[in-house]
Amino acid sequence: MTMKKNDDDLDEVFDDSSVFAHFDNYSFRDTSVNLKNADNLLNVSTLSCDEEIKGYDKLAGKTWIYPTNYPIRDYQFNIINAALTKNTLVSLPTGLGKTFIAAVVMFNIYRWYPSGKIIFMAPTRPLVAQQIEACYNIIAMPRKDTIEMTGHMTVSIRKTHWTTKRVIFATPQVIYNDIKSGICQGDTIRCLVFDEAHRAKGNYAYCQIISTLTEMGHRIYRVLALSATPGSKVEDVINVVKNLHISHLELRNENCIDVVSYSHARKINTVIVQLGPELTYLRQKYVEILDGYARRLKQYNILPQNVGNLTKGRIVMLYKEFQSKERGARHPQHNYIMKDFTLLIVLYHGLELLVKHGSRVFLNFFDEHPEKSWIQSDDKLMAFLERLRDDLGVDPLQLDRSVLPDGTIPEIPKNLAFGHPKFYKLKEIMLEHFNNAKQKGQETKAIVFCEYRESVNLVHCLLLQCRPLIVPQMFVGQGASGIDGKTVTSQKQQLRVMRGFRSGACNTLVCTCVAEEGLDVGAVDLILCFDISTRSPVRLVQR
């Protein structure tokens, strides 16, 4: 569908003083107009406010193309309409077509500037690979002009691609490095798309790209920023707006009138799992050990008497308060107090692991730090850890879960101790979900989100006990960490896992936060947040 230009203005300005009062120097307009009203179409020739810009095709610029091989959704049409003429931050709930919007904007700017560069960036290589395929499927972007650029390519190869290709998909660090080195000529860039734009804070590569182009005097390009969650606070959104030179916001939530009919219905349940007698007893004994390390700090009234009610966060706050007070006069026991604080922060992290993640993760935390001599010299702590090790028995992380030549994974013993009641509650919920689907003759899929890789491994091991009903796969970031040493993941492995999940080769994904940002996992019936991340409200929304 080809749209002709018209000079009419957009609809009236959003009236939301709680958010937009912070943006005095920006213009925000509501583009929720009726598709049938052709008079509301934008003057697309004002892409860069100058029709004489080098490389601009005046004939192509008289129209913009909207694909009709997809159902026309008013909100997508209106957002694209605005994004073609303004640097726009688009905030849409997951699954409502941000990639579609990006593909259409990119294609039209590709048409308007036959020699210009169009750049799409995403934080991870699997996400980049996914988006390039999605853009191919959405609109006829010529493959001969398109390339996925990676840091593994040599400089000479990338230089050739910058000369011969026009549509580049890459991680932001690759783009930043090539702009900085001059391989990418900044004056040829006509469109920058930032996926997961909430990352545009501090020194992240998104920010460095914009600031570097500005320093070089390159300002003639369109910016499209995409995010389901631009920030948990107004200040976070302001930072993204400033760092990416945004002049227009398109914000939608699932209750917006033009979006609600496309939103997926969902039911949210909160499951509270009690610690149980075993963990409660372990916590009590461990706090008694902590009390010995806190004695000197309590003696000087730096810590409260009841250390059982303290948390790692509270210890850190008290540590900072002590440092602040010491600016006037140094405490006579300064060195001892600082050492006690350091040890307590580590020990209270252990307490946090014990309560939130269980005795297995707690034990592995201490086993992974044998270099800390003070642990070895504490007889009470060593005896406590040794008794716990005996009680837990075989560590699930030490079991061989590698794929055999026939494609299977060895059987997992049923009598393993995972160290927290919530593991068994997870298993109960998952079995109930998959059994219900089986009884109805339906196929179903689930995702389990964990905060730590170690939890991913433990949950994976737990669900392997439920085969063939539940077929789990792990999905974690590239690299390795943890005592098991089995979490090394390459990009090819990540892509293989995602393909297997979408195709149905596995029906459960056990993953860390790497799966939260924009990855297309297809239809999912159950999402289980195994660890509630209080540090990042954005993370919860992404999940």
The CATH number covering residue 368 comes to 1.20.1320.20
Q: Which residues, in sequence order, are bridge partners of residue 448?
A: 510, 528
Same domain, 371 and 432: no
pLDDT at 23 over 70: no
Q: Which residue has the higher pLDDT, 145 or 5?
A: 145
User: Do 453 and 359 belong together in one domain?
Assistant: no
Does 20 have pLDDT greater than 60?
no
Give residue 471's pLDDT band: very low, low, confident or very high (50, 70, 90): very high
Do both 472 and 422 map to the same domain? yes
> What average pLDDT does the structure give for the chain?
81
Whether 24 shows a pLDDT value over 60: the answer reads: no
- Are 110 and 255 in the same domain? yes
Cβ(245)–Cβ(30) under 8 Å?
Answer: no
Q: Worst-scoring range by mean pLDDT, 69-78, 311-320, 326-335?
A: 326-335
> Do residues 86 and 121 share a domain?
yes
Least confident of 11-25, 166-180, 253-267, 350-364: 11-25
pLDDT of residue 408: 73
- Per-residue pLDDT at 440: 93
CA distance 27 to 19: 13
Higher pLDDT, 152 or 50: 152
Whether residue 271 is contained in a domain is answered as: no
* 103, part of any domain: yes
Which residue type sits at 109?
A: I
Domain C-terminal end among 334, 357, 392: 392
427 in any annotated domain: yes
pLDDT band of 46, cuts 50, 70, 90: very low
Residues 388 and 404 in one domain: no
Q: How far apart are CA 240 and CA 250, in angstroms?
A: 14
CA end-to-end distance (rounded Å), the chain = 35
- Give per-residue pLDDT as tens, 350-392: 999 999 999 999 998 888 875 567 777 888 999 999 999 999 9
Exposure of 490 in the CB half-sphere (CA atoms within 13 A): 4
Q: 20 or 142: which carries more pLDDT confidence?
A: 142
For residues 104 and 201, state if they share a domain.
Answer: yes
Tell me the three-class secondary structure of 190-210, residue by residue.
EEEEECCHHHCCCCCHHHHHH
Token pair 């080098």 is found at 54
Counted domains in the chain? 3
Q: What is the mean pLDDT of residues 259-271?
A: 80
Show which of 231, 262, 293 is a domain's final residue.
Answer: 262
What pLDDT is attached to residue 489?
A: 61
Residue 62 amino acid letter: K
Q: How many CB atoms lie within 10 A of CB 51?
A: 12
Q: Residues 29, 14: contact at Cβ < 8 Å?
A: yes
pLDDT value for 462: 94
**Hey, what's the torsion of the CAs at 199, 205, 211, 212, to 10 degrees?**
-170
> Mean pLDDT over residues 18-47, rounded?
36
Domain annotation covers residue 227: yes
- Report whether 480 contacts 517 (CB < 8 A): no
Q: What integer pLDDT is reported at residue 447 of this predicted model?
A: 92
Contact call for residues 542 and 228 (beta carbons, < 8 A): yes
Looking at the chain, how many residues does it have?
Answer: 543
Degrees, nearest 5: CA angle 55-59-60: 75
75's enclosing H/E stretch is helix 74-83
Looking at the structure, tell me whether residues 299 and 257 fall in a common domain: no
Answer yes or no: pTM beyond 0.85: no
List of residues 6+ apart from 243 with CB closer than 8 A: 200, 201, 206, 207, 210, 211
Lowest mean pLDDT segment, chosen from 186-200, 286-300, 437-451 = 286-300
When pLDDT is cut at 50, 70 and 90, the band that residue 10 belongs to is very low
Q: What percent of the chain has pLDDT over 90?
A: 42
Q: How far is CA 157 from CA 144, 151, 205, 442, 477, in A?
A: 16, 11, 22, 49, 27
Any idea what the CATH number is for the domain that residue 126 is in?
A: 3.40.50.300
Q: In this structure, is residue 434 part of a structural domain?
A: yes
Residue 509 lies in a domain: yes
Query: At residue 145, what is the residue type?
Result: D
Specify whether 141 is located in the same domain as 95.
yes
Query: DSSP string covering 359-423, please?
Result: HHHHHHHHHT-TT-HHHHH-HHHHHHHHHHHHHH-S-GGGS--PPPTTS------S----SSHHH
> Where among 262, 296, 315 does a domain terminate?
262
Q: How far apart are CA 458 and CA 404, in angstroms?
A: 20
Residue 323 resides in a domain:
yes
* Neighbour tally for 359: CB within 10 Å: 23
Whole-number pLDDT of residue 414: 86
Quickly state the pLDDT bin for 260 (edges 50, 70, 90): confident
AA identity, residue 98:
K
**Cβ atoms within 10 Å of 301's Cβ, excluding its own:** 8
Q: What is the pLDDT of residues 519-533, one digit of tens each?
A: 666 678 899 998 765
Helix (H) or strand (E) holding 474: strand 472-475
Specify if 236 maps to a domain: yes
| Structure confidence at residue 15 as a pLDDT band (50, 70, 90) | very low
- Mean local confidence (pLDDT), 221-235: 86
Give CA–CA dist 446/379, Å, rounded. 44
Separation CA 346–CA 342 (nearest Å): 7
Helix orientation angle between 359-367 and 276-299, rounded to the nearest 10 degrees: 50
Whether cis (ω within 30° of 0) applies to the bond prior to 468 is yes
For residues 489 and 387, membership in a common domain is answered with: no
pLDDT in tens, 476-517: 876 544 444 445 566 777 778 888 888 888 999 998 876 555
Query: Can you tell me the distance from the alpha carbon of 307 to that of 286, in angstroms, rounded to the nearest whole number?
Result: 11
Asked if residue 513 and residue 367 are part of one domain, the reply reads no
Q: Is residue 288 within 8 Å of 338, Cβ to Cβ?
A: no
Grouping H, G, I as helix, E, B as strand and the rest as coil, residue 508 is: strand
Q: What is the mean pLDDT of residues 7-23?
A: 35
Task: Assign 378 to helix, strand or coil.
Answer: coil
pLDDT, residue 33, reads 31
CA distance 464 to 412: 7
User: Which tens digits make up the pLDDT trace of 79-136?
Assistant: 999 999 999 999 988 778 899 999 999 999 999 999 999 999 999 888 888 888 888 8
CB 329 within 8 A of CB 300: no
Give the pLDDT confidence of 129-179 residue by residue, as tens digits. Answer: 888 888 888 887 888 999 999 888 999 999 999 999 999 999 999 999 999
CA distances from 390 to 275, 360, 393, 395 (A): 20, 11, 5, 10
pLDDT at 539 over 60: no
- The pLDDT of residue 189 is 96
Residue pair 238/103 in contact (Cβ under 8 Å)? The answer is: no
**Sign of dihedral through CA atoms 476, 480, 484, 490?**
positive
Shared domain for 118 and 183, answered yes or no, is: yes
Vertex 222: Cα angle to 218 and 226 (nearest 5): 125
Name the residue with tokens 């690979």: 129
412-426 average pLDDT score: 92
Domain range for 123 is: 2-262
Asked if residue 44 has pLDDT above 50, the reply is: no
Question: With left for phi above 0 and alpha for psi between -120 and 50, is residue 49 left, alpha or beta?
Answer: left
pLDDT at 413 over 80: yes
Strands 222-227 and 88-91: parallel
241: Cα within 13 Å, side-chain hemisphere: 23
Report the greatest alpha carbon distance in the chain: 82
